[in-house]
A and B are shown apart, each in its own frame.
Chain A
């Protein structure tokens, strides 16, 4: 009997599934070969000697299978802004984009600042084949004053704390959050920004903000806060993670910190790698994000940082907003752009193989993000849980936000032609594969 693995709403169980003919790549296991994979009740057999007669076989010749990708920075919006995204729709967007794991940020309404709310999200996510790690708020109500109950939150699985959407502004609070989280084996994720410099800004401060008459967000505001984090990491020994790096100087200082063996990690988003402030020239609010799109020099520095490992993770800062709130004046509309469903295609269009090889990319999309959050590293090995991303590297497609699984459409890559797409994922005993009907 044929089984349909294309159902995003009700993913099929991976009970007895053969993934046939793909190039299977797991760099840390030094695996790079065209082998079949057998997924039996969610557990892997690599290059099975026999194909079970009753197995569902999916022909994946020409495809690549890697350990499941992990997006270190997404906003699922639930609770509070379900019109833009829910845990369910966000997980479906992740599946559609080839991610088997995401870390969701706490700037919901109310914020995820206690065990009850965090567990509520975890329970909602549990039914989906996406590992959802919750980054809890670092301070109560994200108000930047009192630390949340970090120990309790770590007990339920939290490994990252952040007031993302805004920085922890008070340096003493930031220091104490870092120290306390570090004691618990967790780390602070800092949205690096100096609000005194950026407040009221709508786009990068520079030539284009001047041309467009829009209030600017100076790059030095981000870099100054990155330096503050680095100094605190050096002083306290506590780890800190810099979110969505966007400036040349931030990259340089993070590189300096790593050279000095400081516990500093960082991430970068596709829009900061592939777009610049010039994209704002038509006042289209789909190009309004925080941090903003910067200059070409910043973009190139971010690319170099991703390539040399200064930036540990390639993440999306998936920030869904409804059409209604984005369809406003540029300075009024909220910051944010969706990214889960375009990140993989962008990586294969712009990064691999010209800028970095596949193994290096997987360090930033599979291993690095999970190490920062101390999540189990998936392996493509006999007996391991199947946690896979299936990639069609030759598929040419045009980004059409109307086809997104996300509830929101605010993509800055709309209309762009990409080469390479996510064909599907396998995780938590489920398989979701587009056009995935067994032979």
Chain B
């Protein structure tokens, strides 16, 4: 039984400010558990969670698995390589077969946008989207928001700039939706070729000038740039990208006030961010990782473990 208005977490698009606040507040309580000597509570005892990762992932998969174990859920892991998928089985059949083994929650990473929505129509289980292609990655956005809220106290009015490959990011859209829902101002900074069409309809500002963006924001969320985008002709070279869109200490020094630096990882050090920035006192990158476990605990608890209060 979910305490949220939703059975699943497919994306942040349908989540209200109240719901996101509830998740972030719950995550803060979960974070306390992570600081205890015995980092485990029985909240999800008897609940079986399968982590269906059809795409390679390190931190998200481990983060979810750890969150499940901290809540005492029974956890199963699936990876596409060596599975029936490689023998031609469809996604739906794979999922139906796994569900037939009586699982309760599916945490899913898949390269196809909408694949968790597709499974949600056919499975009874609670579905948690752990990243569907270039669509949403809601728990990443939630952990980013939690990290920012810890730092600034509120998200309302906060000026956040996402820098990098917005078009191909699984992080950007959930961040835009979540931050806008929470009242933050969002700017996107990237080469024109990496900005998705009509994205301004989300109410974001767009700039192609990182120096200008730095002057007008409180936090920068740096997204990974992939070499294959260059070979696809989306920008001329990594060198040029680094020169105009890479975050360096020199560039950061031009900010009118100290900026908070986020990065969802994995980082290309020396490309979109230099090491002296990534490891600086302004970086909250490792705090994001810690908060990821707390957020995922909160989401799993609210969707699958919490009992509604009697009326």
Contacts and interface: CB of A to CB of B under 8 A. Distances in A.
Interface of A: 202, 205-207, 209-216, 218, 282-283, 324, 327-332
Given A327-B92, A328-B91, A329-B91, A209 B114 contact: no
**Max chain B CB contacts within 10 Å: which of A209, A211, A329, A331?**
A329
Contacts of A215: 134
A243 to B, nearest CB: 24
Nearest to B132: A213
B204 to A, nearest CB: 11
A330 B118 contact: yes
B224 interface: no
B117 A283 contact: yes
B147 to A, nearest CB: 23
Nearest to B91: A329
**Max chain B CB contacts within 10 Å: which of A206, A209, A211, A218?**
A211
Contacts of B118: 283, 329-330
Given A206-B197, A214-B135, A328 B113 contact: no
Interface in B100-129: 110, 112-115, 117-118
Contacts of A282: 117
A6 to B, nearest CB: 36
B113 A330 contact: yes
Contacts of A202: 113
Closest 10 CB pairs of A and B: A213-B135, A283-B114, A329-B112, A207-B198, A213-B113, A210-B196, A213-B134, A330-B114, A283-B117, A329-B115
Contacts of B202: 210
B173 interface: yes
Contacts of A207: 197-198, 201
Contact of B196 (A209, A327, A331): A209
Contacts of B110: 329
Contacts of A327: 90, 92
Contacts of A329: 91, 110, 112, 114-115, 118
B112 A210 contact: no
Contacts of B112: 329-332
B197 A214 contact: no
Contacts of B197: 205-207, 209-210, 216, 218
B55 to A, nearest CB: 12
A194 B153 CA distance: 50
A198 to B, nearest CB: 14
Interface of B: 13, 90-92, 110, 112-115, 117-118, 132-136, 170, 173, 196-199, 201-202
Given A206-B197, A329-B115, A331-B112, A213 B136 contact: yes
A213 B198 contact: no
A328 B114 contact: no
Contacts of B170: 213
B197 to A, nearest CB: 5
Contacts of A331: 112-114, 133
A329 B118 CA distance: 7
A212 B91 contact: no
Contacts of B173: 210-211, 213
Given A213-B136, A329-B91, A206 B114 contact: no
Main secondary structure of the interface of A (DSSP, over half): loop
Contacts of B90: 324, 327-328
A212 B117 CA distance: 11
Contacts of B91: 328-329
B196 A212 contact: no
Nearest to A324: B90
**Max chain A CB contacts within 10 Å: which of B92, B114, B202?**
B114
B129 to A, nearest CB: 11
B13 A211 contact: yes
Contacts of B13: 211
A62 to B, nearest CB: 40
Nearest to B195: A210
Contacts of B134: 213-215
23 contacts: A207-B197, A207-B201, A210-B198, A210-B202, A211-B173, A213-B132, A213-B133, A213-B135, A213-B170, A214-B113, A214-B135, A218-B197, A282-B117, A283-B113, A283-B117, A324-B90, A327-B92, A328-B90, A328-B91, A329-B110, A330-B115, A331-B113, A331-B114
Given A210-B199, A213-B134, A328-B90, 17 more contacts: A202-B113, A206-B198, A207-B198, A209-B197, A212-B114, A213-B173, A214-B114, A214-B134, A215-B134, A216-B197, A283-B115, A283-B117, A324-B90, A327-B92, A328-B92, A330-B113, A330-B114
A211 B113 CA distance: 10
Nearest to B133: A213
A42 to B, nearest CB: 48
Contacts of A205: 197
A84 B71 CA distance: 48
A298 B49 CA distance: 45
A105 B110 CA distance: 35
Contacts of B135: 212-214
**Max chain A CB contacts within 10 Å: which of B173, B197, B199?**
B197
**Max chain B CB contacts within 10 Å: which of A206, A215, A330?**
A330
A331 B54 CA distance: 15
A327 B133 CA distance: 18
Contacts of A324: 90
Nearest to B119: A329
A337 to B, nearest CB: 17
A328 B85 CA distance: 13
A214 B112 CA distance: 8
Contacts of B115: 283, 329-330
A149 to B, nearest CB: 38
Contacts of B113: 202, 212-214, 283, 330-331
A196 to B, nearest CB: 10
**Max chain A CB contacts within 10 Å: which of B91, B92, B110, B134?**
B134
A292 to B, nearest CB: 13
Contacts of A212: 113-114, 135
A215 B197 CA distance: 11
